[in-house]
Structure 1
Amino acid sequence: KLRTQSDTEVLVQLYAIYGKECLSLLNGQFAFAIWDKVKEEIFLARDRIGIRPLFYNLSGGRLTFASEIKSIFTQKEIVPEFSYENLSQIYTFWTAITPGTAFKNIFELSPGHYLVYNREGIKTGRYWELNYNDTFSGITIQRALEDFHELFYDSVRIRLRADVEVAAYLSGGIDSSSTVAYIKDIEPGVLNTFSIGFRDRDFDETEYQNEAVKFLNTRHKSITCSSDDISQCFPQVIWHTETPVTRTAPAPMFLLSKLVRENNIKVVITGEGADEMLAGYDIFKEAKIRRFWASQPDSTLRPKLLTKLYPYLPQMRQANPAILKMFYGYKLEDTANPFYSHLLRWNNSNHIKKHFSEQLKSHLNGYSPIDHLENYLPEDFGRWDYLEKSQWLETSIFMSGYLLSSQGDRIAMANSVEGRYPFLDYRVIEFCNRLPGDFKLNGLNEKFFLKKLMQGKIPDSIVKRSKQAYRAPIKSAFMTGNAPEYVKEMLSPEVFGKAGIFDQGSVSNLLQKIELTGKSSEVDDMVLASVISTHLLFTMFIEK
């Protein structure tokens, strides 16, 4: 029998008894390495959904691994170099497909996987995967709500275990409000909560945050983030993300975790995962509307449903119906495409590649990240319905690769803050994956199940409000007279020439257009963030 006050020692003992099968007994977030001196091999493992990072390199018969890529680059024989194919993936999906990273010969252990390295070489294996094969049969929504309540209550309860104070993020949306409501139910005492506000009202949710704070009775602190704040901390953010980003959204999250740490708190509970598990994003509604329209493509009424999408985006509220119809009509009738739900988003991101250098275009020579992704689809993918396919893509690609990484663990741990995610308890994930689709997306009512669950437990205005995706300013962060000196440097001919990724003339034309009109599209903003973040990464990791 083992007596210990250390969770790490329990892990070693579990491995000693069960070997790799111990992974199925773990619940939580982890990345660890164990040297098995009996077998003379090293065993690496990563949590099911990819919250904690784990990178490795194998060269010259030597395995080097770390939780940050920069640690691997301390080995002089490992030379930093971009992987052009993986950069192309990042500019499509916002992340590289694991095990790839932005760097050549640097790999990331995929979520739900383990790795064994011994004299015979390296071997990876999967111990858990997302699936949607076992939908509940005949379950009533009331029974499902009761079962979920018990499960989620327990998920929150075990994530409150800590030898330090546990706080929570409270964004003003239903996800974080739900986690806070459950925390208060389990531990009714004082709870510290934290949030981000924006000076730009198009991004700000302070009104709803204040409602949630008052209703849930928390001790609350927030930061009001300006465009200058974003541009000032952006290089630090890229140092920690270790990958290009197409958004500035990680920057305010970095500042938020800094605020948490300044208040001597090391652990926060957050609402990440609810949108993916319970169909909260507009991309799920978008796929449903497009499929409905595709069944009668000549209909004049069905495209009007497009106005229900992305109501928080000014450009969507003001868009001409004809332009909306043209934009959302992209590959409208290609409903058999396995990636139908995400074709529009990926096509939007692909515009970044129009600004590639001739050198990079020549190297890629028709390489398709989407074709590459087909090699990683689960065996049962073709059997799932459109919602299940889109949930798998959103969870496995966007959430694990970007949301929990560049916008999650990497920039929280930059300030030594640990995020915990009750919606990403594997039991909660597996339960949600078994729910009928109309429990999650009921008509065009997103997260219908969670809204039913939280009625009366959080403010009614938050239950009923439409999903507002978290975003942050881009153009105003980099294209003003107040922009930091590094922005000018990252957009200089010298850096364009050395990095060799983007075409300076093409990007300069875009910048001139933005300066002349004072306006930028979503795609323009993505190009701007991509170029600056890529050049920062090049300067920090490759040039130096």
Structure 2
Amino acid sequence: MCGLAGFLSTSVHPDATAGVITSMLSNIRHRGPDEAGYYLDDGIAMGAVRLAIVDPADGSQPMSDPSGRYWICFNGEIYNHIELRAELARLGRPFRTDHSDTEVVLQAWIQWGSDCFTRFNGAFAVAIRDALTGDLVLARDRYGKRPLFYADHGDDFLFASEMKAFRAFPGFRFALDPSELATTFGVWTPLPDRTPFHGIRQLPTASVLTLSGGRRSLRPYEDLDFDVPGFDGTEAEAIDFVRDTLRTSVEMRLRTDVEVGVYLSGGLDSSIVTRLATQLSPHQVRTFSVAFQDKTFDESDSQSLVAEHLGTVHCTVPITSSDITDNFPAAVYHAEVPTFRTSFVPMFLLSRHVRDAGIKTVLSGEGADEAFLGYSLFRETLLREQWNELSDDQRRTRLANLHPELAHFGPAHQAHLLGLYQQFSVERLPGLFSHEMRYQNGRFAARLLADRRDPFADLLDLVAAAPGYPGMSAVHKAQWLEYKTLLAGFLLSTQGERAALAHSVENRCPFLDPAVVRAAASVNLRYDDGQIEKAILKKAFRAELPEWTTSRPKQPYRAPGSAAFKDSRPEYLELLLSDGELAKIDCLDHKFARRLIDKIMSSPVEEISTKEDQTFVYLLTTAVLNQQFVLGDGSGRPGASAPADLDLRVTVDNRRAVQKVGER
């Protein structure tokens, strides 16, 4: 796990190039505190900060092939690097390291070009430089586990694992983009190629960007496809198939030169990962979780029961509302995007504890609900699609089973729910049927902005252009949207990778192995009477987990919202409470924002709706980002000093070479 940064520039004086790339890397040093280095050539600088997990002795970056023509900066892990190395060696590719996956990526690129990315089972962002042609290639993994941003700054081109690296480039300035904020508020995350800042883009998942001779080409190397052949076997065979595929995935993610821990939420998915890790790890598995002081959000009893049942060394990090508010600005700084929940802050604190415990790598259950249709959203979509074919009794029964954990889905609210679901039984936003109810909260949040543009226009364009999307079932469309928006844009980034890498911890997700995703698609809806209950997954591990783990309704991970800030009144809340501070975010509808703030601060918690709570968190995260990136020094809190420069251990400078590679 690492972070990378670089630029193509004609404006930076050659004598200043090393200082600029060093400062860019300094701004992301939390991603890789073990080692850092950069590569310089005419018109380009690129570098990496390294968290040494695989081949700590020989995996230094930037790395070149033996000829010195190709150079790579790599962020991530390729879990099938052993198999790929053996295949490449048989094809005659030379290796100088014993088992560096970075060298495998480089040699795979030289051998197969951009086709190599479809062969990688892993989480990655990569920059590859061809010193002979001057080409630069950027690529990102298929599910968006590792970030990669880029921006045009005049005639210069910048790229980095985190946007904060751009602050070190001469003359670069951040500015919030109202149109992108509208989409972010509406959809709950930026779209796959967007960010909330003007002029900064994100490399989409499963994509390759090539810069060659002043030309630029962006294309996908793989499409997201759930239309796989159904598993052709008995239920017992399907159970073995899913179990074996997951076991292989966990085994591959335990390939590392450091100890691997597990995030244990207490639910089905993380319990399965923990169970497999206890069977496969050479160490007694250490598990980590958060416990909330507010019992509304706490699942520590479940976590402890699973840990005891599986025999792990378990550690619980207690979280209070004050912990969330005290650490909120720092967590937002690492997230770099407005968000609708505070749930990323406890994960930020958990990763800090994991780092202090000496663990660099953790497994988690993220991605299971997307692959195996675990969210109530999928059951809700199926219900709404079938609504007009059901009797009133069937509708009531299905509604009661949708959200058993939520009081407002109880019997007293049945009449209201029947009317609501009847209203949303017909598609209104083309292609977004599954998410229309949830996007109503986003539509409300978009009212924060003075420019009332359609917050879903860009998403509608995205799905309209997606290959095969119109022919998908309603449930598969819902699944596609989850992968492309909330999973990549919040769960894997803000709440996942960004919270973990803030403290130099790498997270690995066995359920996001391509083979697991395909296996899930082949068994979903085939062995559970047309309902969506994770039937095969539960049956595969029922005998090895506590009974309630596979029988209880799903408990979504949540954290205290606006009430935490109202109760503690942290100093930075003045960004909203002061009209003068609020006015500094010039794209807001300040009257609407003021009405919302006043209601949140003066009303009892039970009178604050979900959409109001989410919109308040959006507003506060936007205000903090505006202070940190647009107005402030970008260091994570107003008034703090900038990150210190790195002590670079590896430097490669080709600018003074008399002959280029290939001219000899």
TM range (shorter): over 0.9
The amino acid across from 2:485 in the alignment is I
2:582 to 496, 520, 523: 496
Structure of larger gyration radius:
2
The amino acid across from 1:522 in the alignment is T
2:541 to 430, 454, 460: 454
Summarize the alignment of residues 325-404 of structure 1 with structure 2, pairs less than 5 Å apart. Answer: 325-334=418-427, 337-357=430-450, 360-361=451-452, 364=453, 368-376=457-465, 378-404=466-492
Q: Is the deviation greater in 382-391 or in 533-542? A: 382-391
The answer to whether the 8 Å contact 2:403/2:409 transfers is yes
- Supply the distance in 2 between the matched residues of 1:472 and 1:505 (Cα, whole angstroms): 28
The answer to whether the 8 Å contact 1:92/1:369 transfers is no
User: For residues 356 and 62 of structure 1, do their structure 2 counterparts lie closer, same or farther at Cα, with a shift above 3 Å needed?
Assistant: closer
Summarize the alignment of residues 457-476 of structure 1 with structure 2, pairs less than 5 Å apart. Answer: 457-476=544-563
Summarize the alignment of residues 193-212 of structure 1 with structure 2, pairs less than 5 Å apart. Answer: 193-212=287-306
- Supply the distance in 2 between the matched residues of 1:521 and 1:248 (Cα, whole angstroms): 16
Partner of 1:313: 406
The answer to whether the 8 Å contact 2:542/2:550 transfers is yes
- Supply the distance in 1 between the matched residues of 2:382 and 2:454 (Cα, whole angstroms): 34
Higher helix share: 1
User: For residues 208 and 281 of structure 1, do their structure 2 counterparts lie closer, same or farther at Cα, with a shift above 3 Å needed?
Assistant: same
The answer to whether the 8 Å contact 2:186/2:439 transfers is yes
How far apart are 1:336 and its partner, in Å? 9.4
The answer to whether the 8 Å contact 1:53/1:108 transfers is yes
- Supply the distance in 2 between the matched residues of 1:327 and 1:191 (Cα, whole angstroms): 46
The answer to whether the 8 Å contact 1:113/1:127 transfers is yes
**SS across alignment from 2:331:** helix
Partner of 1:249: 343
Summarize the alignment of residues 32-43 of structure 1 with structure 2, pairs less than 5 Å apart. Answer: 32-43=126-137
Partner of 2:229: 135
How far apart are 1:375 and its partner, in Å? 4.0
The amino acid across from 2:462 in the alignment is L
The answer to whether the 8 Å contact 1:228/1:483 transfers is no
User: For residues 74 and 336 of structure 1, do their structure 2 counterparts lie closer, same or farther at Cα, with a shift above 3 Å needed?
Assistant: closer
How far apart are 1:446 and its partner, in Å? 2.0
Partner of 1:286: 380
Partner of 1:262: 356
- Supply the distance in 1 between the matched residues of 2:460 and 2:578 (Cα, whole angstroms): 34
The answer to whether the 8 Å contact 1:294/1:333 transfers is no
1:80 to 174, 177, 180: 174
The answer to whether the 8 Å contact 2:259/2:283 transfers is no
How far apart are 1:148 and its partner, in Å? 2.1
The amino acid across from 2:463 in the alignment is E
1:152-192 per-residue CA deviation (whole Å, 9 max, x = no partner) reads 11110110111111100111000000001111111364111
The answer to whether the 8 Å contact 2:446/2:455 transfers is no
1:451-479 per-residue CA deviation (whole Å, 9 max, x = no partner) reads 01111111111111111111111022111
The amino acid across from 1:406 in the alignment is T
- Supply the distance in 1 between the matched residues of 2:395 and 2:128 (Cα, whole angstroms): 57
Q: Is the deviation greater in 188-197 or in 314-323? A: 314-323
How far apart are 1:284 and its partner, in Å? 0.6
The amino acid across from 2:206 in the alignment is G
RMSD: 2.0
User: For residues 304 and 464 of structure 1, do their structure 2 counterparts lie closer, same or farther at Cα, with a shift above 3 Å needed?
Assistant: closer
User: For residues 137 and 313 of structure 1, do their structure 2 counterparts lie closer, same or farther at Cα, with a shift above 3 Å needed?
Assistant: closer
The amino acid across from 2:401 in the alignment is K
1:39-75 per-residue CA deviation (whole Å, 9 max, x = no partner) reads 3201111111110000001243322100000112322
1:81-107 per-residue CA deviation (whole Å, 9 max, x = no partner) reads 122221111111111112111111101
The amino acid across from 1:258 in the alignment is R
Query: Does 2:626 match 1:538?
Result: yes
The answer to whether the 8 Å contact 1:168/1:268 transfers is yes
User: For residues 348 and 294 of structure 1, do their structure 2 counterparts lie closer, same or farther at Cα, with a shift above 3 Å needed?
Assistant: farther
**SS across alignment from 2:122:** coil
- Supply the distance in 1 between the matched residues of 2:357 and 2:483 (Cα, whole angstroms): 32
Query: Does 2:617 match 1:523?
Result: no
User: TM-score normalised to the size of structure 1?
Assistant: 0.94
Partner of 1:17: 111
User: For residues 414 and 68 of structure 1, do their structure 2 counterparts lie closer, same or farther at Cα, with a shift above 3 Å needed?
Assistant: same
1:92 to 181, 186, 197: 186
How far apart are 1:338 and its partner, in Å? 2.1
Partner of 2:34: none
- Supply the distance in 1 between the matched residues of 2:294 and 2:198 (Cα, whole angstroms): 39
The answer to whether the 8 Å contact 2:206/2:222 transfers is yes
- Supply the distance in 2 between the matched residues of 1:105 and 1:86 (Cα, whole angstroms): 10
User: For residues 348 and 299 of structure 1, do their structure 2 counterparts lie closer, same or farther at Cα, with a shift above 3 Å needed?
Assistant: same
Query: Does 2:599 match 1:506?
Result: no
Q: Structure 2: which 5+ runs fail to align?
A: 1-93, 633-664
**SS across alignment from 1:221:** strand
How far apart are 1:301 and its partner, in Å? 4.7
The answer to whether the 8 Å contact 1:241/1:406 transfers is yes
1:224 to 318, 326, 343: 318
Partner of 1:160: 254
User: TM-score normalised to the size of structure 2?
Assistant: 0.77
**SS across alignment from 1:437:** coil
User: For residues 424 and 366 of structure 1, do their structure 2 counterparts lie closer, same or farther at Cα, with a shift above 3 Å needed?
Assistant: closer
- Supply the distance in 1 between the matched residues of 2:516 and 2:365 (Cα, whole angstroms): 13
- Supply the distance in 1 between the matched residues of 2:547 and 2:263 (Cα, whole angstroms): 19
Partner of 1:176: 270
User: For residues 117 and 370 of structure 1, do their structure 2 counterparts lie closer, same or farther at Cα, with a shift above 3 Å needed?
Assistant: closer
Identity percentage of aligned residues: 33
- Supply the distance in 2 between the matched residues of 1:328 and 1:494 (Cα, whole angstroms): 43
**SS across alignment from 2:129:** strand
Q: Structure 1: which 5+ runs fail to align?
A: none
2:154 to 41, 44, 60: 60
**SS across alignment from 2:133:** coil
The answer to whether the 8 Å contact 2:385/2:474 transfers is no
